[in-house]
Amino acid sequence: MIKHIVMWNLRGETHDEKTSSASRVKAAFEGLAGKIPGLMHIEIGVDMSRIEYACDVVLYSEFSSNESLSAYAVHREHLRVKAELGDLRIARHQVDYQL
């Protein structure tokens, strides 16, 4: 099993703007569940700490194999979500690891 974790900082000058952006990101990625072969689990968390150095959103997902993670990266539904969210994301951090 491959675990794929991505964290983003989002555009927004106010808490309400960031909350709106986070809701869009959460809904878009949750919509991928059941649509991509090998994607076994996906969840999106929105930061509630509001600490200055925290990321705004985290995506936690599990894939059946390295090949399925690679296929996810270029899958049309994933690419659609990335295009839909456009420039909402201003910073991105990623970790992939195998158990």
Tell me: the pLDDT tens digits for 44-96?
Answer: 999 999 899 999 999 999 999 999 999 999 999 999 999 999 889 999 999 99
Give the residue among 66, 74, 72, 87 at the shortest CA–CA distance from 36: 72
Domain boundaries, the chain: 2-98
CA 20/CA 23 separation, integer angstroms? 5
- Give me the amino acid identity at 43: E
For 19-45, write each residue's pLDDT tens digit: 999 999 999 999 999 999 999 999 999
Q: Kindly report the pTM of this predicted structure.
A: 0.93
- Give me the amino acid identity at 3: K
Q: Which residues of 60-72 are buried (b: 16+ CB within 10 A; e: fewer)?
A: ebbbeeeebbebb
Give the residue among 69, 90, 71, 93 at the shortest CA–CA distance from 18: 90
CATH code for 2-98?
3.30.70.100
